[in-house]
Amino acid sequence: MHSLHWKQQSIRPLYTTALSLPLSLLLLLGLLAGPATADAPYHTDLDSYQDGILGVEPNQTFSSAPLVVAPVYQINTFDAAKIDVSAESAYMFMAGRMPGLGWGPSIVSSRDLSLIWADQHYGGMAQATNTFLFQGERVLAVFVDDAVRIISQSYEELYVVHPVGNFSHWHPDSHEAMLTDDDTVLLIVCPNWAVDLTPVGGPAEGRFVANCLVQEIDPVTNDLLFEWTTLDYFTVADSVASYHDEGVWDFAHMNSIQKTPNGNFLISYRHLSAIVLVDGRTREVIWVMGGKRNQFADISPQKTNRKDASAAFGWQHNPRVTGINRFTFFDNYRLDNGYCWSGRCSRGLEIEYDPVAKTMWLLNEWPHPQKVISASRGSVQRTHTGNALIAWGQNPSFVEYTPTGDLAMDFQRGQILTIDHGIEDIVVYRVAKGVWEGRPPWGPNISYVAAAGTTKTIYVSWNGATEVDRYVLLSSASQSDLDGASKVVAQSPRNGFETKFAVVGYAVGRYARIAALDIHGAILGATPAVDTTTGALITLDYSVTNVFVSAGSTTLHDVPSSAAVSVPSGTHPTKPPAALKAALSGGQIAGIVVGSVVGGCLVLIGIAVGIVSWHRRRRAQMHRMPHAGTAAAANNSAQQQQQAGGAGDDDAAQRLLENANEYGLDSFAVRNSTDSDGTEVYEDR
């Protein structure tokens, strides 16, 4: 086991005695030079974002954290009143890779989309990421660098899980990193298997398929508790994918597993277009939904009173149980990618079914507000309040709907393009909201940047710390005297991942350091000192034990602070740019990539051209696109969609809420049995 930490100064826990703020110190604090923030502002012009004004992988760096890079988001809709920011959904968990760094997981604030933590040092791909309870403690499980890693809230790697038994020499597949209520880990492993491919036009021998299998492993003992392979039930003739004389054909493509509340396994197969329930004791298939072996009739029109309602799906990802005989998943439906100009598009989907009558029906669906088709990847999560959070896979987009179908959030961390399999680094394989209390063993970081005139700019960040409410800047002519209320020269709330102090020079002595405080005024940690004449960092052998801030103090309102990070509220024009309606050719795609590199050298020219182009587009937009500049407009649009058979309906929403209240969305108690007819059995907890 080892700690996953950056090269940062480690600070032992600190405590404080709250003091009142003297009037003389208030006068000194007035020297803080206006509002400032370090995080890059969010983008709201979809046309220019899609045109690549910020590059192919829009990103930002931080002065105080050189080993962290974060996306620059395009905000299309952000309605803070409708987004689930409850304590149980306070953070979003995802993975990817940013330019110049490695792969890794990251945590983002649900409230303001600011980065909380990123570990971007791994050499191998990162995909599935989520938070779970494990042995009574909150942990993060992530597939990264050819293993499923279980990470504590102190960012310590507790366990690194690989396949065991007969397949211990194989790497696990990147599609899953699932922990169960039994404190076990679910892995996907896809070994090569020699088969007869004559049913699909291939040779009788000499070729292989990826025979994906499920392994349930105890990470503490490394014991194999359950194993089930695809070829135990399916054959190559069941595939909906075409065989092209591959040496190893991925005929089934297992992409998610969940252990259901009564101990069975819900498995998704992309290349079978099928979802399967396997008995956790007998290993028998209980039912198959979708694909060539489908056992269910779709009765959505009768159940919803909508002639066009359909629960049919294809190439799907991420089924997750949400109640008795119901589950959500991402319905990719097609294999093209980008804006969806005709036909059925990708969607988040919630299905209900009768395992006895073998019928299924549409309960809820959530299309992309911009009409998008995602050829691969994607996820759906019911959050604590019943909202639906959807990751759009190959299209780097995040969308959230309320239980009644109102659009709450729509943002993206890259362009929506017609590139096959997307821009791998920033695709959104999955996203999930959950609880987290980050307690990094390292302290906050500080940096100093010289500015014109007498202004001094000091930056602070604390990678992984969730409890920071504000930062306090202390200064002195001596590096041995950076503690106590008399040394405080400025304070600021935590403003995004990195907070910036821009202070008039003569208000700050030669040496400075910053203390981080929680909402109660307790000191959580402090930075090293920085020499404001040279920018050099100085390790100190003493703590900050005393500052002025007290939670609820009325004097806080009189102290100048740097600007808070805020997400532009309301709805911004989200109709896809007309220029992108024609699919991009391979040469155009190459041009985008090369252009983004060259653009880094020609940034000044690019900005000037961008400003002119932006004005022209805005004038053109007035004629080609309706204005949707308010949250009310978004609500009206969502209601119209709903009446026309769009995202959700009132009856379905009411059924969802009733089911959620009765059974809960996050946890179930289980009677480990299955009725003789195969019905899933649950008990109230």
Please choose, from the candidates 291, 206, 207, 282, the residue with its C-alpha nearest in 3D space to the C-alpha of residue 254.
291
Would you say how long the chain is, in residues?
685
Compute the half-sphere exposure of residue 64: CA atoms within 13 Å on the CB side of its CA. Answer: 29
Nearest to 482 by CA among 522, 443, 539: 539
Closest residue by Cα to residue 180 from 216, 234, 224: 216
Q: Is 242 a domain residue?
A: yes
For residue 562, what pLDDT is reported? 58
Tokens of 155: 């960012």
Q: Is residue 46 part of a domain?
A: no
The CA distance from 161 to 169, in Å, is: 13
Residues 370, 575 contacting (CB under 8 angstroms): yes
339 and 413, same domain (yes or no): yes
φ, ψ for residue 393 (rounded to 5)?
A: 60, -115
Check residue 631 and give its pLDDT.
33
Predicted pLDDT at 383 = 97
Categorize the per-residue pLDDT at 620 as very low, low, confident or very high, splitting at 50, 70 and 90: very low
Taking alpha carbons only, the member of 297, 255, 261, 260 closest to residue 275 is 255
- Name the helix (H) or strand (E) containing 50: helix 46-50
Query: Using one digit for the tens of pLDDT, what is the confidence trace for 233-273?
Result: 999 999 999 999 999 999 999 999 999 999 999 999 999 99
SS3 of 294, please?
coil
- Domain of 374: which CATH number? 2.120.10.80
Residue 563 has which token pair? 């600007």
Q: Are residues 170 and 226 in the same domain?
A: yes
382 belongs to a structural domain: yes
pLDDT tens track for 176-220: 999 999 999 999 999 999 999 999 999 999 999 999 999 999 999
Do 421 and 461 fall into the same domain? Answer: no
Domain with 611, as residue range(s), is: 576-624
**Structural domain includes residue 240:** yes
The predicted structure's pLDDT at residue 452: 66
Neighbour count for residue 615 (Cβ, 10 Å): 10
Same domain, 420 and 521: no
The DSSP code for 519 is T
Q: Let me know whether 208 and 267 are in one domain.
A: yes
Same domain, 363 and 429: yes
Query: What is the reported pLDDT for 628?
Result: 31
Quote the pLDDT of residue 456: 82
**Highest-pLDDT range among 556-565, 615-624, 636-645:** 556-565
Question: Which residues does 482 contact at the CB level (< 8 Å), separation at least 6?
Answer: 474, 475, 476, 511, 512, 513, 529, 540, 544
Query: Of 532, 558, 584, which one is at a domain's C-terminal end?
Result: 558
Q: For residue 479, is it within any domain?
A: yes
Q: What is the DSSP-derived secondary structure letter of residue 567? A: P
In the numeric block, which tokens belong to residue 452? 């014109």
Do 374 and 450 lie in one domain? The reply is: no
Q: Can you tell me the distance from the alpha carbon of 250 to that of 647, in angstroms, rounded to the nearest whole number? A: 33
* pTM given for the model: 0.80
Do the strands 213-217 and 511-517 form a parallel or antiparallel pair, or are they unpaired?
unpaired
* Whether residue 466 sits in one domain with residue 357: no
Among 163-167, 646-650, 680-684, the range of highest mean pLDDT:
163-167
Q: Residue 573 — very low, low, confident or very high, per pLDDT cuts 50/70/90?
A: low
pLDDT in tens, 49-106: 999 999 989 999 999 999 999 999 999 999 999 999 999 999 999 999 988 899 999 9
Please tell me whether residue 476 adopts helix, strand or coil conformation: strand
- With beta carbons less than 8 A apart as the criterion, state whether 573 and 634 touch: no
Longest dimension (CA), the chain: 88
In a domain, 108, yes or no: yes
Percent of the chain that is helix, strand, coil (3-state, to 5) = 15, 35, 50
Element (DSSP H or E) covering residue 310: none
Looking at the fold, whether 542 and 602 belong to one and the same domain comes out as no
Last residue in a domain, options 413, 434, 455: 434
Number of neighbours of residue 192 by Cβ within 10 angstroms: 14
Distance CA 139, CA 150 (A): 7
554: pLDDT strictly greater than 90: no
405-414, 605-614, 625-634: which has the highest mean pLDDT?
405-414
Q: Are residues 582 and 554 in the same domain?
A: no
> CA-CA distance, 290 to 96, in Å (whole number)?
30
Better pLDDT: 485 or 597: 485
Q: Which of 38, 118, 103, 112 is nearest to 73 (CA)?
A: 112
The encoded tokens of residue 2 equal 């080892």
How far apart CA 467 and CA 479 sit, in angstroms, is: 27
List pLDDT tens digits, range 124-134. Answer: 999 999 999 99
Q: Is 568 exposed, middle or buried (0-12, 13-18, 19+ CB in 10 A)?
A: middle
Residues 308 and 278 in one domain: yes
Q: Residue 456 forms beta bridges with which residues? A: 450, 503
pLDDT (0 to 100) of residue 11? 27
Alpha-carbon torsion angle 601, 618, 641, 86, nearest 10: 50
Question: What percent of the chain lies above the pLDDT cut of 70?
Answer: 74
Domain end residue (candidates: 434, 467, 492): 434
pLDDT grade for 567, boundaries at 50, 70 and 90:
confident
Residue 285: pLDDT over 90: yes
Q: What is the pLDDT of residues 215-234, one digit of tens each?
A: 999 999 999 999 999 999 99
Q: Is position 632 within any domain?
A: no
Confidence of residue 568 (pLDDT cuts 50, 70, 90): confident
Whether the predicted pLDDT of 2 surpasses 90: no
Q: Count of domains in the chain?
A: 3
Q: What is the pLDDT of residues 458-473, one digit of tens each?
A: 999 999 999 999 999 9
Q: DSSP for 584-608, please give it.
A: PPHHHHHHHHHHHHHHHHSHHHHHH
Give the domain CATH number at 501: 2.60.40.10
Q: Using alpha carbons, select from 79, 112, 129, 640 the residue that is nearest to residue 399.
A: 79
Q: Is residue 287 in some structural domain?
A: yes
Same domain, 210 and 290: yes
State the pLDDT at residue 223.
Answer: 98
Rounded distance between C-alpha atoms, residue 675 and residue 618, angstroms: 61
d(CA 60, CA 5): 20
